[in-house]
Structure 1
């Protein structure tokens, strides 16, 4: 290992160990190595300068009779306390307690004075992390420790790249969000007044049948046991079987989720292709006939209910014109057109209005006026400086609405007889079929978390302020 590599890992370790969470990760990743170096740190006399100064200060305080002074003060306090509360305490016990308090006072005061002197001289108290960092600066140590500390060095290499670290942090946050969603949904289903056994077996079911059903599906267990089983199933991708129909939940969701995801993705693509140019045209011609027309159409798009628009489409394009199939058929591309348009109408309207308002705000900023004053044409200013910055809030709206489309597509799926994840969850929630609902919600939460991660990455690409913050974090 060269001095350059040693310097690189030493700098990366110093930067990463500034945060407690990263310290824990580095300790766990290189645990065998850290166990050895920590014992070495203790055996070699950790913080030798600090320990020497501490002993010197303690000796100085003791030589000046400070400990005896504190001892007499504590003895006087304890004797007055004994008399006030009329306690029966022997003089030996009082002396022993006073000596203990005086020793603690001497130790605390010695530490305070030692740390203050080190700070005044510009020196810092040596810690294990500073000791380990000094070892990393040595190429020979890197060679010896590379195998036992392999995972730690890989982690340090990844942490040295701010953008990779930024993505990793967002992934960890996404895992936390998914766990939180799972716990919240399970808790709501657990306290729900609906009884799965009664709803599935019917009102005529005997108590023995209900008890057998609850025992078979683990509903007789405590809240914490059921929650743990649910979270364990999600972590291992073993979602179990549904209460109704005894279907494999993972297989059912894997068949239904791609349909909803496909419709949502095509709806977003349609919305972006139409809404972004419309928003730009409206913003560049404010208060014109074109602007008013586009925004009026967008307002209509926001106001139309999905189910009504879907029924009108079926009536017009399927029944009267016979252009498109009325219901969805797997593998039939034309059957996707109407659901995509219905689901994407409100999204298109929202993005167009947001793009217009965001771009109008940007083109009136001082830096845009300065760019024009420097001689850039209107088109150059618009495409180089305005549109990129205006896209930042638009990206946020797209991500939020896309997440809403995945969970809220049930109405559109019902209208067009689409067996997607939205209608699947709606059908199961009135039982309530806990494994099926948990699986569907978690799939949606994972997808939304990945979309939010993509949005964060787009933020970093679009906004130089965020890139600068990432680089200097």
Structure 2
């Protein structure tokens, strides 16, 4: 077992060669191990030093007058060249060039003879990377260095599986995107013409009060200091207190974000359950009355503004029919129905149209025609070959629209009086309440990044071509 693990780590370490970023990451992760092993390598290299053999060869060449002979030969060649070309080269310059050429020949001869000597003795010339690679072959080395090099071995284990490597790369990309979003949002808020102190304290605030407010919330610091504090707070989940109300931002987001996320998830589920069958039916019966009807309804769904649809729902289902509550209440599950339907209407329409167009394109591909020619029924051809491939662009649309729903749910939340993350950010942006806005936007970005990661994983499961590229990489 230990031998197999050591072999796995050795193979992963070998494949990491040539990938500079991965090599640096492995070195930093296993720095304590590398520090000790490099010292051992230097000691071992000193024990196997070539200095003695180099000196012996150099002495032998001097005793045999080889160096003087080569120098004389080069001088003779350069003199004949000068005479033939009629160059104005002095004897001193010729002698200097001859010495340089002779020294180069000596070094080449020493290197050649040294290699022959060590090859005969069975002593292998090795770099530190080669030496460390050979140590990874030994299970004993793995056991001794497992604790100090646990992070390095975790990375090697991760890179040994192409699919895990694929996921890790996407996670790193997501982290970079989140950092970029944080910097962009903070910069926009920093250069905003709105003054938080003046907006919160009012026009009657004195300059001393404004200065004290800025000092209290760190607004008197430089741009870089404020940016660093904001990013550090996001990374440590310590977002501080909001400017208005002095409420803990992390607690507020923790209370409001699940509401928006729940409504968005139910909207996506509703959209997928309705839109996928509708898109398949429309694609299998193109240009029929059913197809035209479904696509016309989908077009209407895309065209209806959320706020207007919400108000119409409240007017009819709450006021006239008294079936559903007009405002959202966490204790009343019926109050979630109208917000979910309103938020999911445009998503349902978009998915249905994308499913139809994607499936129509797949149905006319050559491999589908070949499958039909081999005798597969229409149902087998559809479900075994067509639907899975047609789902790839549909999944992309779902991921993109889901992110838009999280950020764009503020209108729906306002209509139904939902205290979610969308309305929370909108309420805070005119102050501007920098900690609250930063926290809300960045944690929405984190959720969207995780959704995109899930979509990338679904790609690999649905499309064998993507799996093949992952394995080859």
TM-score normalised by structure 2 residue count: 0.84
- Name 1:407's counterpart in structure 2: 407
Query: Match of 2:277, SS?
Result: helix
What is the CA–CA distance in structure 1 between the aligned matches of 2:54 and 2:216, rounded to whole Å? 66
Structure 2 unmatched ranges of 5 or more: 79-92, 116-123
Residues 373 and 201 (structure 1), Cα distance of their counterparts in 2 relative to 1, 3 Å cut? same
CA contact (8 A) 1:241 1:247 kept: yes
- Name 2:468's counterpart in structure 1: 468
What is the CA–CA distance in structure 1 between the aligned matches of 2:360 and 2:310, rounded to whole Å? 33
Q: 1:322-362: per-residue Cα shift (whole Å, max 9, x none)?
A: 11111111221111111110000000000000000000011
What is the CA–CA distance in structure 2 between the aligned matches of 1:39 and 1:419, rounded to whole Å? 61
CA shift, 1:265, in A, is 0.5
- Name 1:449's counterpart in structure 2: 449
Residues 22 and 349 (structure 1), Cα distance of their counterparts in 2 relative to 1, 3 Å cut? same
What is the CA–CA distance in structure 2 between the aligned matches of 1:61 and 1:423, rounded to whole Å? 86
Query: Match of 1:41, SS?
Result: helix
What is the CA–CA distance in structure 2 between the aligned matches of 1:437 and 1:221, rounded to whole Å? 19
- Give the 5 Å matches for 1:388-427: 388-427=388-427
- Name 1:89's counterpart in structure 2: none
What is the CA–CA distance in structure 1 between the aligned matches of 2:462 and 2:137, rounded to whole Å? 37
- Name 1:275's counterpart in structure 2: 275
What is the CA–CA distance in structure 2 between the aligned matches of 1:28 and 1:341, rounded to whole Å? 51
Query: Match of 2:167, SS?
Result: helix
Residues 380 and 49 (structure 1), Cα distance of their counterparts in 2 relative to 1, 3 Å cut? farther
- Name 1:363's counterpart in structure 2: 363
- Name 2:224's counterpart in structure 1: 224
CA shift, 1:264, in A, is 0.4
- Name 2:86's counterpart in structure 1: none
- Give the 5 Å matches for 1:47-58: none
Residues 214 and 42 (structure 1), Cα distance of their counterparts in 2 relative to 1, 3 Å cut? same
- Give the 5 Å matches for 1:285-364: 285-364=285-364
What is the CA–CA distance in structure 2 between the aligned matches of 1:265 and 1:252, rounded to whole Å? 20
CA contact (8 A) 1:406 1:444 kept: yes
Q: 1:128-157: per-residue Cα shift (whole Å, max 9, x none)?
A: 322211221234433443343333223322
What is the CA–CA distance in structure 1 between the aligned matches of 2:169 and 2:333, rounded to whole Å? 39
What is the CA–CA distance in structure 1 between the aligned matches of 2:470 and 2:32, rounded to whole Å? 31
- Name 2:436's counterpart in structure 1: 436
Deviates more, 1:253-262 or 1:11-20: 11-20
- Name 1:254's counterpart in structure 2: 254
TM-score normalised by structure 1 residue count: 0.84
Residues 52 and 402 (structure 1), Cα distance of their counterparts in 2 relative to 1, 3 Å cut? farther
Residues 20 and 50 (structure 1), Cα distance of their counterparts in 2 relative to 1, 3 Å cut? farther
What is the CA–CA distance in structure 1 between the aligned matches of 2:32 and 2:375, rounded to whole Å? 63
CA contact (8 A) 1:50 1:125 kept: no
Alpha carbon RMSD of aligned pairs, Å?
Answer: 3.4
What is the CA–CA distance in structure 1 between the aligned matches of 2:346 and 2:368, rounded to whole Å? 31
- Give the 5 Å matches for 1:175-190: 175-190=175-190
What is the CA–CA distance in structure 2 between the aligned matches of 1:43 and 1:216, rounded to whole Å? 57
What is the CA–CA distance in structure 1 between the aligned matches of 2:2 and 2:259, rounded to whole Å? 54
- Name 1:191's counterpart in structure 2: 191
- Name 1:84's counterpart in structure 2: none
- Name 1:458's counterpart in structure 2: 458
Residues 234 and 106 (structure 1), Cα distance of their counterparts in 2 relative to 1, 3 Å cut? farther
Query: Match of 2:45, SS?
Result: coil
Query: Match of 1:245, SS?
Result: coil
- Give the 5 Å matches for 1:163-174: 163-174=163-174
What is the CA–CA distance in structure 2 between the aligned matches of 1:179 and 1:274, rounded to whole Å? 36
What is the CA–CA distance in structure 1 between the aligned matches of 2:258 and 2:165, rounded to whole Å? 30
After the TM superposition, which parts of structure 1 deviate over 6 Å for at least 4 consecutive aligned residues?
48-57, 59-63
Query: Match of 2:192, SS?
Result: coil
Give 1 or 2 for the bigger CA radius of gyration: 2
CA shift, 1:63, in A, is 7.7
- Give the 5 Å matches for 1:102-251: 126-251=126-251
